[in-house]
Amino acid sequence: MIRITHLLDDFGMGGVTRALSLFNDPRMTREAESRTVRMGRGPAGAVRLDSDLIIIHVPPSWGRLPYLAALRLKNPHARIVQVEHSYTRAFEANAMPSSGRFRTLLQTAARPVDEVIAVSRAQHRWLAEAGVPSKKLRSIHPWSGRDDLYKVPDLEPRDGPLRLLAYGRLAPEKNFAALIEAMRSFRADEVTLTLFGSGPEEARLAELASERDNVRLLPATNAIDARLATCSAVIVPSRYEAFGLVATEARMAGRPVLVADIDGLPEQVRSGGGVAAPMRNAAEIACAIIRLKGADLPTMGRAARAGVLRQHDEIISGWQAVAHRAAKPFPKKAGMQPAMAAGA
């Protein structure tokens, strides 16, 4: 039995917190016991964790490099793994003014850890291109802990408008403003959109939605099974997205997904459970919706659910392999290289 410590800085019920439920799966609890600890920032916040495996779920930052150095020194026999939940190729292109400095951060943060887990194959390729050593990189898709979604009834043939559902954090990177604008291309008897969530763009999106009779903006809820049960498909038009647990949840509920063709999102439709298309602006989103309208959605929904069942088995196998590597005798670490300490 190995001991695992998960380091987080946000304990809200978001995607990362839900993803940790995989360590409660019997296939994992037979091999490992887990606990969750708040991650520190400065060197004083790094302590000996008495763990075989330390898993970091917080994105690297310049301010946390001294903490990482101290964590490595105080836990020389532990295997340390960084899970990259956030950074992607499209994130770099859209949000980083200096790619060179950003990639230096990624390379420096990778030095004290033994593995970097990418949550999609696309992210894995980009991290390798960004200079993270390939020998440290692995790909494991994120887990969704919403097993109740498997109980949502299969999609029936459509009678009436195409009922689209979108949800998540109401923030600019999710591209929901362009999605609402795209709904101007359709009558209410053709396509409707239900959007729910919370976030910094909530007021703006509420104003945009009020101008359309085929758009509803609802409050955030954890009871997503009922809303998924009443939709025809889920749309994810993000500007960047490492993998997209919203699309995974839709597939678990047997609903087709329409996703932007960026980062890890296209991997959500490889089983035939949806469509990936350019969705950078309202015009492209409208074209993607027209493409989805002509698809056999019930067949697509069944393929989506079958594909995600296989995906969950692969996720467990991937983390079992990580645990097995942590269980092997581990050589004592020499600590940080001087170059890293200077770069911090």
Q: Is residue 42 within 8 Å of 61, Cβ to Cβ? A: no
**CB burial of residue 227 (10 Å; 0-12, 13-18, 19+):** middle
pLDDT of residue 325: 94
193: three-class secondary structure by DSSP: strand
* pLDDT tens digits for range 67-79: 999 999 999 999 9
The count of structural domains within the chain is: 2
Mean pLDDT computed over 165-184 = 97
Assess whether 138 and 227 both reside in one domain.
no
In this structure, what token pair is assigned to residue 184? 């101007």
Assess whether 323 and 292 both reside in one domain.
no
**Residue 343 pLDDT exceeds 60:** no
CATH number of the domain within which 108 lies: 3.40.50.2000
Assess whether 160 and 107 both reside in one domain.
no
Q: Is residue 56 within 8 Å of 39, Cβ to Cβ? A: yes
What is the CA 82 to chain-centroid distance, rounded?
14
**Residue 341 pLDDT exceeds 80:** no
79: enclosing H helix or E strand: strand 79-84
Count Cα neighbours of 42 within 13 Å in the Cβ-side half-sphere: 1
Max Cα–Cα distance, the chain, nearest Å: 66
Assess whether 8 and 63 both reside in one domain.
yes
**Distance separating alpha carbons of residues 112 and 149, to the nearest angstrom:** 38
pLDDT of residue 338: 32
Assess whether 192 and 220 both reside in one domain.
yes
Assess whether 139 and 151 both reside in one domain.
no
Domain containing 91 equals 2-144+313-343
320: three-class secondary structure by DSSP: helix
**Residue 39 pLDDT exceeds 60:** yes
Q: What are phi and psi of 120, to 5 degrees?
A: -155, 160
Assess whether 13 and 127 both reside in one domain.
yes
Q: Is residue 32 within 8 Å of 2, Cβ to Cβ? A: yes
Closest CA to 248 of 307, 291, 288: 307
> pLDDT-based confidence at 339, cuts 50/70/90?
very low
Assess whether 180 and 292 both reside in one domain.
yes
Q: Which of 11-25, 30-44, 48-62 has the lowest mean pLDDT?
A: 11-25
- The DSSP code for 333 is P
Sheet arrangement for strand 257-260: 215-218, 191-198, 162-169, 233-236, 257-260, 274-277
Assess whether 284 and 211 both reside in one domain.
yes
**Distance separating alpha carbons of residues 191 and 286, to the nearest angstrom:** 10
Exposure class string for 141-178: b at 16+ Cβ within 10 A, else e: bbbbbbeebeebeebeeeeebbebbbbbbbbbbbbbbb
Assess whether 90 and 158 both reside in one domain.
no
* pLDDT tens digits for range 297-337: 999 999 999 999 888 889 999 999 999 999 875 454 444 44
144 or 308, which is more confident? 308
Assess whether 195 and 249 both reside in one domain.
yes
**Distance separating alpha carbons of residues 228 and 233, to the nearest angstrom:** 8
Assess whether 154 and 121 both reside in one domain.
no
